Amino acid sequence: MNGVHDMGGLHGFGPVRPEPDEPVFHAAWERRVLALLVGLGLAGHWTLDEYRHARESLPPAELLGASYYETVLAGVERMATAHGLVSADELAAGRSMRRDGPPPRPLLPDTAGDTMRRGNPSVREAPRPARFAVGDSVRARNIHPVTHTRLPRYVRGHAGVVTAVNGCHAFPDARAHGRGDDPQWLYSVRFTGPELWGPDADPTLTVSIDAFEPYLENPA
Amino acid sequence: MTGPSDPELRVKALEQVLTEKGYVDPAALDVIAETYERNVGPHNGARVVARAWCDPGYRKWLLEDGTAAIAALGYSGRGGETIRAVENTAQVHNVIVCTLCSCYPWPVLGLPPAWYKSAPYRSRVVIDPRGVLSESGVELPGDTEIRVWDSTSEIRLLVVPMRPGGTEGWSEEELARLVTRDSMIGTGLPKRPEEPAP
């Protein structure tokens, strides 16, 4: 979706403001919501792609105006509600009111560390040979799906070069919408600054993205 | 959402309902949070970089198969299931970003700082990286290639900065103290040997 989450190249946000000696969390609730995000994600109730789509689908003003962890909280609330773990009236009441959700499979304290160290790899078996090879010229397709995608707007329609073939991975555009893993070849594609940003761009700049095969075409 | 608007109250309600229904175990949530408060942070990545600086065989392995080389030092998993290490040289300076959300190599750098997830950084570093670097006090030669990596897949990136001069004969432990978080994002450089350790 062409949302405000897709920020590459936007102007007007001002300087980057690092915080000296920044703590890992700024409030106890941030710590808790991060743990909920990771714990429920690793328990497999939903995919990271579904969660990302829920977060980027927040009202644009909220996504831009709220703090990072406020948007994480909203994303987790949406996921937990959409997957039937909780309902809006239960969240309002702060207590369980029904037991009709999916079977619980909570992360347990003694195995949580191992589960985190394993993570949830996205690499999949290749269903077909790769279409592109290192050194190939490619073009990012000029597509504007209203659904989730990991193809940033600022590369669409632009030509680049494949610098790596990274195997097959679960395809976020499918997985975010419950359409299974639909494994796709994943390439690193490098674009020059002037190709992306025009003749006034920094000529020493290159930008690389990881692009799934359906994002790419032969340059016309 | 309906319910209390204060995020603190909302998180409390969410955790309470999920706990009552058996979907989360609060003690496991503590384990997760403590992992990022105590165990997983930039000191992990600093160890990887210092090893690469000292051991040419490890450096080669790291650049060819970052995931395996990093796992060999004990770092793996959530938010970095696959990791690619990219090396700075006199010709190329690498910078990482996630313009679409907040992807970051968790096992080696921990949770990202707020500025990394912020609109100013995500919007600007792909179009004006030298401006961003300059504000961080990093001035690079005019002909250095600035190679920005936008983390658009589950492959997370780790920048291997250049080893500072004047560190010949230093141990891995001593070198690791020069490796800053920002030098592994690409928005900073390692400490100089004469700078005091943090």
Q: Apex CA A151: angle with CA B101 and CA B122, to 5°?
A: 35
CA distances from B3 to A56, A88, B139, B168 (A): 21, 8, 49, 60
- The torsion angle over the Cα atoms of residues B57, B62, B65 and B68, rounded to 10 degrees, is 90
Mutate to test the interface with A, among B11, B76, B125, B132 (most CBs of A within 10 A): B11
Q: pLDDT tens-digit profile of B141-184?
A: 999 999 999 999 999 999 999 999 999 999 999 999 999 999 99
Place domain A28-118 in its CATH homologous superfamily.
Answer: Nitrile hydratase, beta subunit (1.10.472.20)
Q: What pLDDT does B2 receive?
A: 43
**pLDDT tens string for chain A (220 positions)?**
999 999 999 999 999 999 999 999 999 999 999 999 999 999 999 999 999 999 999 999 999 999 999 999 999 999 999 999 999 999 999 999 999 999 999 999 999 999 999 999 999 999 999 999 999 999 999 999 999 999 999 999 999 999 999 999 999 999 999 999 999 999 999 999 999 999 999 999 999 999 999 999 999 7
Q: What pLDDT does B33 receive?
A: 97
Q: pLDDT tens-digit profile of A2-46?
A: 999 999 999 999 999 999 999 999 999 999 999 999 999 999 999
Ordered alpha helix ranges (H), chain A = 28-42, 48-56, 60-65, 68-82, 88-93, 109-118, 172-175, 193-197
Asked if A95 lies within 8 A of B20 by C-beta distance, the reply is yes
Short-list B116, B102, B149, CA closest to A206: B149
Q: What pLDDT does B138 receive?
A: 96
CATH code of B40-185, in short, is 3.90.330.10
Question: Residue B1 pLDDT more than 50?
Answer: no
Catalytic residue chosen out of the listed positions B54, B76, B102, B136: B102
B3 pLDDT band (50/70/90 cuts)? very low
- A154 contacts in chain B (CB < 8 Å): 99, 126-127
Neighbours of B85 (CB within 10 A): 26
Rounded to whole angstroms, how far apart are CA atoms B116 and A102? 35
CA of residue A189 relative to chain centroid, distance: 18
Q: Strands A137-140 and A216-217: what pairing?
A: antiparallel
Instruction: Locate A172 and state its tokens.
Output: 């976020």
Catalytic residue flag (residue B54)? no
Every domain of chain A and the residues it spans? 28-118, 123-217
Rounded to whole angstroms, how far apart are CA atoms A133 and A202? 27
DSSP code for B128: -
Q: Tell me the residue type at B55.
A: D
Q: What pLDDT does B72 receive?
A: 98
Q: What pLDDT does A220 receive?
A: 77
Rounded to whole angstroms, how far apart are CA atoms B80 and B47? 16
Every domain of chain B and the residues it spans? 7-38, 40-185
- B2 contacts in chain A (CB < 8 Å): 88-89, 91-92
CA distances from A165 to A134, A184, B52 (A): 7, 11, 24
Bridge partner residues of A2 (DSSP): none
Task: Write out residues 146-175 of A within 8 Å (CB-CB) of B.
Answer: 150-152, 154, 166, 169-170, 172
- Asked if A3 reaches chain B (Cβ–Cβ under 8 Å), the answer is no
Q: What pLDDT does B4 receive?
A: 46
Unique residue bearing structure tokens 């394993």: A118
Q: Nearest-CA distance from B90 to chain A in Å?
A: 13
Q: Nearest-CA distance from B169 to chain A in Å?
A: 30
Question: Residue B197 pLDDT more than 60?
Answer: no
Short-list A1, A5, A84, A95, CA closest to A40: A84
Short-list B52, B53, B80, B54, CA closest to B64: B52
Bridge partner residues of B65 (DSSP): none
Catalytic residue flag (residue B98)? yes
Q: What is the mean pLDDT of chain B?
A: 95
Q: What pLDDT does B5 receive?
A: 57
Q: pLDDT tens-digit profile of B50-85?
A: 999 999 999 999 999 999 999 999 999 999 999 999
Length of chain A: 220
Question: Residue B88 pLDDT more than 70?
Answer: yes
Same CATH topology for A28-118 and A123-217?
no
Helix count and strand count (H, E) for chain B? 10, 4
Question: Residue B97 pLDDT more than 60?
Answer: yes
Architecture of domain A123-217: Roll (2.30)
Q: Are A46 and A83 in contact (CB under 8 A)?
A: yes
- Asked if A208 reaches chain B (Cβ–Cβ under 8 Å), the answer is yes
pTM of the model: 0.96
CA of residue A28 relative to chain centroid, distance: 25
